[in-house]
Structures are given as C-alpha cells and as structure tokens.
C-alpha cells in the first residue's frame, strides 16, 4: 500500500530509543543458511522489507524459514531445490547477490541474475566474479544471469581491485567450503563482514582476520548449524543520532556498539553536537545550530557512505559552508535536489557537494529516491518550519524498522498516511 510520512517540524527530540539489528549483517547471515543442511537460528533479525525479500529468495532456493516463539528466526536448507536467484527478486534488492557464493559452495552451481544498477549507481559485481573464478569456478554471463559452476572450489589468494563489502562476504562464504586455504587481501573491514565471520565460525568455519583487510579462510568439508545474534545497526543508530542533533534535542541511543560508530560520532562532534558514550549507550545533545564540517566518505573505519545523505541534511542547517565528497558511489546525491526544495542551498558537481547552511528548512512535499535519501528527507522534515510530506516511503521501509514509531517515541510529530 503506497504511503507517505507527514511531519510537523520544530520539535526538539528527547528521550531514549533502542537500535535494531543491522540490515547489512542480517542479510548475509540469512544467506549463510545455504551453506549447511542444518538449522541456523538468528536471534534478532529486524522486520524490514529487505528481510522479506531475502526470505522469499531463500525459500525459493529451498529454505524453510520460521519465526520462533521467542522472536528468533530459524532457517534451514535441507537441500537446495533450485540454484537460481531470479531477476525479479535480485533486481529489487541487490543484496540478493550474496546467495551466489554460498550456492556455488553448497551445490557446485549457481544461476544468479545480474543485479543491474540502482538509484545510487551501476553497482557491478565484477570483483565477486573474478574472486570466484580464482577459487576455480567457471563463470559465464548468459541473458543477464551469472552462470557459475565448480565441482569443488579450491582455496586461492585473492586481491580485489577495490574494497567491496558483499564481494568480501561472497568470497568468504565460498572459501569456507573450498579445499585448502584462501587469503582475501584488500578485504572490506566493515563490522557486518566481521559479524558474518563470527556466524560462519560458529558453524564450524576456520576464519582469521575478519574485520581487517586480510582474511584467511581454511576450507572445511562441511558446516553445521549455529545460533547467532546480529550486531546493532550502526547506520540506523547514526540516523537517529542525527535526528537528535538536527532538532537541537537530547537523544540517547541504547543497544548500540559505539566502536562501530566512531567516524559518525567524530563528525557529529565536529558539528558541535555533544556526544557521551557509556557502554552500549550513546547520548547526543544537539546545538541550537550545527557548525559546518567537511565530509569524505570511505570504507570502514572511515565515514560511511550510508550516512552521507543524513549528514547532508544536518549540514544543510549549519552556520557556514560544508563540503561532502562521495567516493564510493557515483550517483548518491539525489537527496540534494529534494533538500533544496525545502530551502537548502546545495550545489553538486560529480562526487562533490557544497552546502551553504540555512537557518531553517521550510516544510514541503518531497519524494524519496533511495533508502538513505528518504532518511535524510525525514531528518530535514523534523527540523523544518511547517509540514513536510515524504512520499515513496517504501524506500525507507527497506532499511528502517518502524522509524516513525521510534521518532514518535522521541516526541516527533510524524504520521504514516496511506495514499
Ligand atoms: C554494501 O553494498 C551495503 N549493502 C551498502 O549499503 C553500502 O552502501 C556499501 O556496501 C558500501 O559500504 C549491503 O551490505 C547489503 P560495495 P555493496 O560492493 O556490497 C563498486 C544501504 O544503504 N564495486 O562495497 O553492494 C561499487 O559499484 C546499502 O544499506 C565494483 O565496482 O557495496 C561501489 O561503487 C546501500 N565492483 C563500490 O565498489 C564490484 O564487484 C563499493 O561497493 C563490487 C563493488
């Protein structure tokens, strides 16, 4: 059902809110169920549209997925009924590509639709395919699908040309069942990669170095079941902190892992936000008006590209000139035009955006274009004078579990209206 969010801006958010489990850790963890005939149980899979899509995809491949009484999700793939990830599912969610490595490792064959582009960029998977070929797979591209075959994958030394999160995850899962040792150089260091390695290790995999740029995987003949708790979502957490900061509020996040948020916390402090960290809680006191700051996105532990749109919303209110350099994706400024409709003064040129802060946003009807862009529009709406209506909210529902309910619990005047 199409819906929009209607926001009455101007409320300083106050209170406590709990972070959900990380979308980008839950999705590869679910795909890991393909690697074994035994069950894996994930304690805290978030209720997200992308999780529904991944559930449909895995069930199509032969998985049995149930929600346990305690809210945990049990996944078991006694046998892979078809090794094909169809276009209609992969094209709605690029993360579907993380079934490629496990399918190939488990069955020796995989037919996965090329994900194609998305709003923020072309999003090729050449690094995934080059790595799988190094592991001994025969890779062909036929009619928009990747056809991969391998009687038995063999360990290899793989250096990716660039840092790729799902590429690292695909190769790590494929290598877990390969014969011999695989070394991934230039691996992604994102916490979600380390979380996946933690699950794979609990399933019997032998992995060293996950979370660093060099991961060593000693293949085993078989993997078993495991129970796993997914890490908190550092991007949702960052988004909620910006909600506190942009409204000059006082918001405490609970159930987060602060060390996964370092770059975001440092940038918020640079903007004059007062941050207090205590255990798994982070408190944010927003200034009356943020200070300007320059942002350059880069792979973890650098400033996350998934927080760039949210930061742009905050800097749009800053007292001065800020510059954002987006180094990861080639088209991730689409929120800028919508923020300008709310009175922001932003100019973009290729990977650069220059933001001249304004005192206040004006409420306006705006349109979401992708997951994090929709979050940035909600954030601007919270701080705007008047009413903001964010349409195409399905983008938001892909990656945020009940965002408007969490914001309402902090005092925000935000309602979901079915259109
Ligand atoms: C993951 O996407 C995340 N998604 C993205 O989050 C995140 O923005 C991105 O990593 C970067 O941190 C999931 O984990 C499900 P990449 P991924 O491979 O793995 C290029 C969100 O908002 N590249 O690290 O697809 C690619 O085009 C989403 O939650 C190649 O050229 O990103 C991009 O420019 C959005 N060839 C850059 O590398 C390849 O084979 C980084 O991509 C692979 C990637």
Residue ranges in the chain whose pLDDT is less than 70: 1
Residues 187/213, Cβ–Cβ less than 8 Å: yes
pLDDT at 116: 74
Q: Which residues lie below 8 Å from residue 233, measured CB to CB, with a gap of 6+?
A: 19, 20, 21, 22, 23, 24, 25, 46
Residue whose Cα lies nearest atom 42 of ligand 1: it is: 164
pLDDT at 271: 98
User: Which atom in ligand 1 lies closest to the alpha carbon of residue 97?
Assistant: 25
User: Which atom in ligand 1 lies closest to the alpha carbon of residue 192?
Assistant: 14
Residue 52 Cα, ligand 1 centroid: separation in angstroms? 20
Residues 79/35, Cβ–Cβ less than 8 Å: no
Residue 167 Cα, ligand 1 centroid: separation in angstroms? 8
Residue whose Cα lies nearest atom 30 of ligand 1: it is: 124
Residues 26/51, Cβ–Cβ less than 8 Å: yes
Residues 380/360, Cβ–Cβ less than 8 Å: no
CA distances from 130 to 108, 147, 182, 342 (A): 17, 13, 14, 44
Kindly report the average pLDDT of the chain as a whole number. Answer: 96
Which residue carries 């009175």 as its tokens? Answer: 343
Residue 125 Cα, ligand 1 centroid: separation in angstroms? 9
Pocket of ligand 1 (CB under 6 A): 23-24, 27, 94-95, 121-128, 162, 164-167, 192, 305-306, 328-329, 371-372, 399
User: Which atom in ligand 1 lies closest to the alpha carbon of residue 235?
Assistant: 29
Residue 229 Cα, ligand 1 centroid: separation in angstroms? 23
CA distances from 114 to 180, 207, 272, 316 (A): 29, 28, 44, 36
pLDDT at 118: 75
Angle, nearest 10°, between helix axes 234-246 and 371-383? 20
Backbone angles phi, psi at 134, to 5 degrees: -65, -30
- From CA 345, how far away is CA 200, in angstroms rounded? 47
């Amino acid at each position: 059902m199409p819906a929009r969010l209607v926001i009455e801006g101007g409320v300083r958010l106050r209170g406590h809110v709990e972070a959900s489990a990380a979308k980008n850790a839950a999705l590869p963890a679910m795909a890991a169920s393909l690697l074994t005939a035994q069950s894996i149980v994930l304690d805290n899979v978030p209720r997200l549209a992308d999780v529904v899509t991944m559930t449909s995809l895995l069930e199509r491949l032969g998985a049995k997925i149930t929600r346990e009484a305690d809210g945990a999700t049990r996944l078991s793939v006694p046998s892979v009924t078809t090794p094909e990830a169809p276009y209609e599912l992969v094209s709605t969610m690029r993360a579907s590509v993380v079934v490629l490595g496990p399918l190939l490792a488990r069955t020796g064959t995989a037919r996965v639709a090329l994900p194609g582009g998305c709003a923020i960029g072309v999003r090729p998977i050449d690094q995934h395919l080059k790595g799988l070929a190094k592991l001994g797979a025969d890779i062909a591209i036929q009619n928009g699908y990747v056809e991969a075959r391998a009687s038995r994958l063999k360990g290899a030394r793989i250096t990716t040309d660039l840092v790729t999160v799902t590429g690292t995850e695909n190769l790590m899962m494929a290598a877990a069942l390969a014969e011999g040792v695989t070394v991934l150089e230039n691996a992604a260091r994102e916490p979600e990669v380390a979380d996946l390695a933690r699950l794979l290790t609990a399933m019997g995999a032998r992995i060293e170095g996950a979370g660093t740029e060099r991961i060593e995987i000693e293949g085993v003949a078989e993997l078993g079941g495991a129970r796993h708790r997914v890490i908190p979502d550092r991007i949702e957490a960052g988004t909620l902190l910006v909600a506190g900061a942009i409204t000059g509020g006082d918001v405490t996040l609970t159930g987060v892992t602060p060390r996964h948020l370092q770059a975001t916390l440092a940038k918020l402090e640079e903007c004059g936000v007062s941050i207090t960290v205590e255990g798994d809680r982070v408190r944010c006191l927003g200034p009356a008006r943020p200070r300007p700051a320059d942002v350059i996105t880069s792979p973890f532990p650098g400033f996350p590209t998934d927080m760039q749109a949210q930061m742009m919303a905050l800097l749009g209110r800053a007292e001065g000139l800020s510059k954002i350099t987006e180094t990861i994706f080639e088209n991730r400024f689409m929120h800028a035009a919508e923020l300008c409709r709310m009175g922001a003064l932003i100019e973009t040129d290729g990977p650069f955006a220059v933001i001249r802060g304004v005192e206040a946003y004006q409420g306006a009807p705006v349109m979401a274009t992708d997951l994090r862009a929709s979050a940035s529009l909600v954030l601007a709406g919270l701080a705007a004078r008047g009413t903001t209506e964010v349409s195409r909210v399905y983008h938001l529902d892909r990656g945020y579990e009940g965002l408007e309910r969490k914001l309402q619990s902090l005092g925000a005047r935000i309602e979901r209206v079915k259109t």
